[in-house]
Amino acid sequence: MGSKDGDPSLGYLTRKDTEVKLPRPTRVKNKTPATVQITAEQILREARERQEAEIRPPKQKITDPTELADYRLRKRKEFEDLIRRVRWNVNVWIKYAQWEESQKDFNRARSVWERALEVDYRNHTLWLKYAEVEMKNKFINHARNVWDRAVTLLPRVDQLWYKYIHMEEILGNIAGARQVFERWMSWMPDQQGWLSYIKFELRYNEVERARQIYERFVQCHPKVSAYIRYAKFEMKNGEVARSRNVYERAVEKLADDEEAEQLFVAFAEFEERCKESERARCIYKFALDHIPKGRAEDLYRKFVAFEKQYGDREGIEDAIVGKRRFQYEDEVRKNPLNYDSWFDYIRLEESVGNKNRIREIYERAIANVPPAEEKRYWQRYIYLWINYALYEELDAGEVERTRDVYRECIKLIPHKKFSFAKIWLLAAQFEIRQLNLKDARQILGNAIGQAPKGKVFKKYIEIELDLGNIDRSRKLYEKYLEWSPENCYAWSKYAELERSLSETERARAIFELAIAQPALDMPELLWKAYIDFEISEGDFDRTRELYERLLDRTKHLKVWISYAKFEATALDDNGGEEQKELCIQRARRVFEKALNYLRTSAPELKEERAMLLEEWLNTESSFVDFGDVSLVQPKLPKKIKKRRSVVTEDGLTGQEEYFDYLFPEETQTANLKILEAAHRWKKQRLPSSDDD
């Protein structure tokens, strides 16, 4: 920077006058990561590997006893100082003892091991290292002493026992090894310890000793796996009877164990190998009856495979049924309120035909009552009861059981909140099939009293009518109408009953009471039934009166058309041409009256007016010689297609096509309005003569 002219190659600009030039900033052009990433750990590792030999610490060479003594003194002092600082560090003690061993000073090494054990005798690593040092240097008695002390102080550390026994076995001291095993077995170790003892005896062909150890083993660990090992041991030695005895003892003790499935499968496979297929089949069936279905999946699979191999057609079907039964049991166990699974399960059992089992499944199914008293939860459940009752009646033939099922079901339903008419009717029909009419009436009467429903009333009335009890039917209709006075179906059926009995006045009175009700569910059907009744009686004056009364209540298009059609067809048996002419005149008056009403009181109902004119035209055509279509044709409208603006659900505005009707009188009115507008325009443009 002291020179006047900077070096451009160094990135500096030349300084002129008083202008100071700053260094040019560097820019990184490629910012992508390198393909090979280098870490700090990699750098340190490579530095250690590439370290040259001349900078490594030199190895010390000892040439005389004095230097050796100094080295040992210095090394021992380092170990002792380290032990004083970290007394509980086991690795320091092990390194100290191994160093003394490397110096062949075994007494000092033993002293270090003993001092370490005084610090932490529960650390089995110290015992293992200590004993391995003694064995490596062939101090057998010392090693045996260490092992003996170790297993005495730490009897639950299996590794110490294994090492001790392994040493004795290598030395050929079989009796000593057996003695160590016996000491170990007195502490009741886990299964692996017992199995090691058995393998030890079998290595020296001591089969009887191994059998005795197995007996002690299954007494110490009465588990399925222990018995299976024992039985396989006997089978391997050709003792079939002893092996079967072991399995039988296991079944007596462990039939209810969680691992019982494994035991039964092993027992059945053993019998298969012994060519005892019947014994194996009995074992499978016994197991399937005693083991819960949720833990018998493998058992079912084995049983099906067994039956396919050894069974006949019936046996194979039983096995398949058993497998499906297991599936259904698993489904109903996971969700007991899934009634479809119960139905499938019941159908399966019904195909087998075991009555006791079918009843058991039905009882288990109906015990799962829906948790909430809402009808939608009960609609599927109630069919379980219905199917149960039908099974008892039709398949089992148990009349009393069927009656009990219906009775319990009716008790269970909360009739104050909801009820099921079908269950009342099925119970009553069952009693009728048993020729017990009194109980059937009592059931239906209870249904009407506790939970009245239209289906119950209809069926009860139908039963009484079939029996010819007219008075009972009338009383039931009266109760029906007291309970539901707005029910037009009941009124119509009641009047129909009276008419079938030729009680015309009673039927007419019922119709009058019906149309006088303040609220009706389907009044059009009731009025139609009343009008049809009067027409069937041939009383046209009453029919016209009814139509007039109906038109006072409603001016619906169908009423006008029906009235006009009635007038057009209201002919006596001996009606002549004059009467036909009178009928067409009356029909025309009705059409004209309807047209005037739609034109004046409801001008917006153009489509209805067009339909009325179309019907009038058809009526005139049907009269042939007596009709006059020229009365209607001038009144027919023109059908015009138009467009109008509509707003869609998305809030958008669009165009919609629709049909409109233009009637002749509207056309004339439109023409008059155009002429008037033209006259006013002309009057405005031309000045009047008065003004001139």
Q: What is the pLDDT of residues 633-652, one digit of tens each?
A: 777 877 778 788 877 777 77
In tens, the pLDDT along 382-437 reads 999 999 999 999 999 999 999 999 999 999 999 989 999 999 999 999 999 999 99
pLDDT exceeds 90 at position 152: yes
For the residues 485-496, what does the mean pLDDT come to?
91
C-alpha separations of 134 from 119, 153, 552, 631 in Å: 20, 19, 125, 137
Predicted local confidence at residue 61, as pLDDT? 79
3-state secondary structure of 103: coil
pLDDT exceeds 80 at position 314: no
Helix count and strand count (H, E) for the chain: 33, 2
Predicted local confidence at residue 9, as pLDDT? 38
For the residues 514-542, what does the mean pLDDT come to?
88
Return d(Cα 453, Cα 470) in angstroms, integer.
Answer: 21
Asked whether residue 277 is domain-assigned, the answer is yes
Q: How confident is the model at residue 8 (pLDDT cuts 50, 70, 90)?
A: very low
pLDDT exceeds 60 at position 1: no
Predicted local confidence at residue 431, as pLDDT? 93
Q: Which of 502, 529, 554 is the last residue of a domain?
A: 554
368 in Cβ contact with 337 (< 8 Å): yes
Asked whether residue 279 is domain-assigned, the answer is yes
Which amino acid is residue 523, in one-letter code? Answer: P
In tens, the pLDDT along 46-96 reads 887 777 655 666 677 777 888 888 888 888 888 888 888 888 888 889 998
Return d(Cα 129, Cα 163) in angstroms, integer.
Answer: 11
Alpha helices in 538-576, H assignment, sequence order: 540-553, 557-569
In tens, the pLDDT along 404-413 reads 999 999 999 9
Predicted local confidence at residue 297, as pLDDT? 72
Asked whether residue 297 is domain-assigned, the answer is yes
Return d(Cα 461, Cα 474) in angstroms, integer.
Answer: 8
pLDDT exceeds 80 at position 467: yes
3-state secondary structure of 12: coil
Asked whether residue 518 is domain-assigned, the answer is yes
Where is average pLDDT lowest: 177-186, 216-225, 562-571? 562-571
Q: How confident is the model at residue 671 (pLDDT cuts 50, 70, 90)?
A: low
Bigger pLDDT: 445 vs 50: 445
* End-to-end C-alpha distance for the chain, whole angstroms: 113
3-state secondary structure of 644: strand
619 in Cβ contact with 568 (< 8 Å): yes
Q: Which of 501, 522, 554 is the last residue of a domain?
A: 554
Domain extent for 490 = 485-554
Residues comprising the chain, all counted:
692
For the residues 447-471, what does the mean pLDDT come to?
91
For the residues 288-294, what does the mean pLDDT come to?
72
pLDDT exceeds 80 at position 294: no
3-state secondary structure of 642: strand
Predicted local confidence at residue 624, as pLDDT? 66
Buried b vs exposed e over 167-185: b needs ≥16 C-beta within 10 Å?
Answer: bbbeeebeebbbebbeebb
Asked whether residue 529 is domain-assigned, the answer is yes
Neighbours of 523 (CB within 10 A): 17
Asked whether residue 572 is domain-assigned, the answer is no
Asked whether residue 293 is domain-assigned, the answer is yes
Predicted local confidence at residue 617, as pLDDT? 84
Q: How confident is the model at residue 234 (pLDDT cuts 50, 70, 90)?
A: very high
The count of structural domains within the chain is 2
Q: How confident is the model at residue 470 (pLDDT cuts 50, 70, 90)?
A: very high
Q: Which of 499, 526, 554 is the last residue of a domain?
A: 554
Predicted local confidence at residue 284, as pLDDT? 82
- Give the domain CATH number at 265: 1.25.40
Alpha helices in 32-139, H assignment, sequence order: 40-49, 65-85, 90-102, 106-119, 124-136
251 in Cβ contact with 227 (< 8 Å): no
**Which runs of E-coded beta strand occur in 262-331?**
none
Closest alpha carbon to 587 in 647, 540, 519, 656: 540
Return d(Cα 60, Cα 245) in angstroms, integer.
Answer: 73
pLDDT exceeds 50 at position 5: no
DSSP conformation class of 33:
P
Asked whether residue 278 is domain-assigned, the answer is yes
Which uninterrupted H or E stretch holds 656? strand 653-662
In tens, the pLDDT along 572-627 reads 545 567 777 788 888 888 888 888 888 888 778 888 888 888 888 888 888 766 77
Predicted local confidence at residue 80, as pLDDT? 87
3-state secondary structure of 657: strand
Burial of 528 (0-12, 13-18, 19+ CB in 10 A): middle
Residues 6+ apart with CB under 8 A from 369: 381, 412
Percent over 90 (pLDDT), the chain: 36
DSSP conformation class of 692:
-
DSSP conformation class of 294:
G
473 in Cβ contact with 497 (< 8 Å): yes
Question: Best-predicted range by mean pLDDT among 61-65, 157-161, 261-265?
Answer: 157-161
Strand partners, 643: 657
Tokens 């006893």 -> residue: 65
Where is average pLDDT lowest: 245-254, 288-297, 655-664? 288-297
Return d(Cα 264, Cα 257) in angstroms, integer.
Answer: 11
For the residues 523-541, what does the mean pLDDT come to?
87
